[in-house]
Structure 1
C-alpha cells in the first residue's frame, strides 16, 4: 500500500468504519469547518510558543506539546463530537460483553472517554519519532481479536507533508502480533491540508515524521477516545479545573470522564449511594473566566 485511503465529509460513518477496520487508519479531507479551524489556530498556536520542547527522542527535542486542550479552547469540543469520529469510535470501542449476576445473564458494554488531548508542533530539523502503538499505554496485547482500546484523531492545524513531518502510518499493522517489528520502510507519511484529519486505531503503528524543512512548523491536534473501562492516559481530573468541565455541555462532561457509564466505572458516593459523578457538576454550570466562549 503506497498511500492512505482518503474519504471526505460526504462519506458515511459506515464507510469510515470499514476503512478503519481494514487499514487501521483513514484520512478525512476537509474534516473541519473553516471557522472551527480558524478558531483552533487562533486559540492554540499563540499558546504553543511558550511551551518547552521535549527532552528525549520520543517526545522530540524540536517538538512542542500542550495538553489540557479543553481548558485552552472551546472549539476542541467540535472535534471530539464530530459524527464521523465519535460514532466510528463508539462502534469500534463499545463492544458488548455477556456476564452473569446470579441467575441472570446480561449484556453490558463500555462507553468511550477522552483519554488524551494534545497539540503537537514539530519544528524544522526534528527527526522522526520511533514507530509505536498508542494502546501500549494500556499494555494491550495483539492481535486484538476485534476488541480495540483506542480510536484516535490527528487533526492538521497546518498542512501535513512528507517533508515537514506528516504523521507516519503503517496501514494494516493493527493486525500484527507483538513479535513483528515495525520498519520505517513500511511507513507512509500522512499528507493532508489544514482542517483535514487522520483517524487511526490505537493498535496501528505510527509516529511523528521527520521535519526536513528549513523554516516550516507542522502543527497538529490529537485526541484519543478510549474504551471507558480503561484508565484515561491524561489525568483529566487534575488537568482540567472542575469549573471548566462544568461549563461544557453534558455530552462533553461525560466524555471527559464525569460519568459512571453502563458498567458503573467511576461512580462516586452521594447521599450514601453509588452515584453518577455528573451530579456533582449540575450546580457548577456557567461561564468560566479566561476560557474562550466561542463555539
Structure 2
C-alpha cells in the first residue's frame, strides 16, 4: 500500500483521498500528504512562525533542546493556523480512525529546531487514557 500522497491528486475529491489515507494509516501506521498547503500559504505560515519565535528564548532543557524554540498554545497567539484545526479532510480522517465524531484538539505547538540541535527520538506523550491521533504539519 502506498503511504505517500499528493493533495493535488484528490483536492477536488476529498472522499477518495480520505479512503486512501485511512487505508495507509491502518496498514502502515502513517500517511504522508505532500502539497497539503500551497507554496504561498506555506511561506505565509513560516513568516508568522518566525515573527512569533523571534520573541522567544531558546530551549531550556535536554528534552526541549537547547537550540530549539517552542511556541506552546499556538492558537492562542495567532489566528493564522485556525483553519487547519477544522480542515475537512483532516477531521474526517481523525474521526474515522478514532471512531469518534467529537474530537478534542490539544497541544498545538510550533517548533523551530535550531542548527546543531541534538535529535529527539520520535515519541508520544504518555499518560493519556484517551484514544490519540497525531497530526504533524511540516512547513
TM-score (norm 1): 0.41
SS of the residue corresponding to residue 28 of structure 1 reads strand
* Distance in 1 between residues matched to 2:135 and 2:42, nearest whole Å: 15
Matches within 5 A, 1:261-272: none
Matches within 5 A, 1:36-185: 36-95=41-100, 111-134=102-125, 136-138=126-128, 140=129, 149-157=131-139
Matches within 5 A, 1:183-222: none
Cα shift at 1:33:
2.6
* Distance in 2 between residues matched to 1:79 and 1:72, nearest whole Å: 15
* Distance in 2 between residues matched to 1:62 and 1:137, nearest whole Å: 27
Contact 1:93–1:111 (Cα < 8 Å) also in 2: no
Contact 1:54–1:62 (Cα < 8 Å) also in 2: yes
Cα shift at 1:15:
0.8
SS of the residue corresponding to residue 155 of structure 1 reads coil
Which has more strand, going by share of residues? Answer: 1
Deviation string, structure 1 residues 147-199 (Cα, Å, up to 9, x no partner): x7222222122xxxxxxxxxxxxxxxxxxxxxxxxxxxxxxxxxxxxxxxxxx
* Distance in 2 between residues matched to 1:137 and 1:48, nearest whole Å: 28
Deviation string, structure 1 residues 15-60 (Cα, Å, up to 9, x no partner): 1111111112111100113333233222221210221222222211
Provide the aligned length of Structure 1 versus Structure 2.
Answer: 131
TM-score (norm 2): 0.81
Deviation string, structure 1 residues 218-248 (Cα, Å, up to 9, x no partner): xxxxxxxxxxxxxxxxxxxxxxxxxxxxxxx
Which has more helix, going by share of residues? Answer: 2
Q: CA RMSD in A?
A: 2.1
Structure 1: runs of 5+ lacking an equivalent: 96-109, 141-147, 158-295
- Structure with bigger gyration radius: 1
* Distance in 2 between residues matched to 1:81 and 1:38, nearest whole Å: 20
* Distance in 2 between residues matched to 1:137 and 1:45, nearest whole Å: 32
* Distance in 1 between residues matched to 2:45 and 2:31, nearest whole Å: 22
**1:22 to 2:27 alignment:** yes
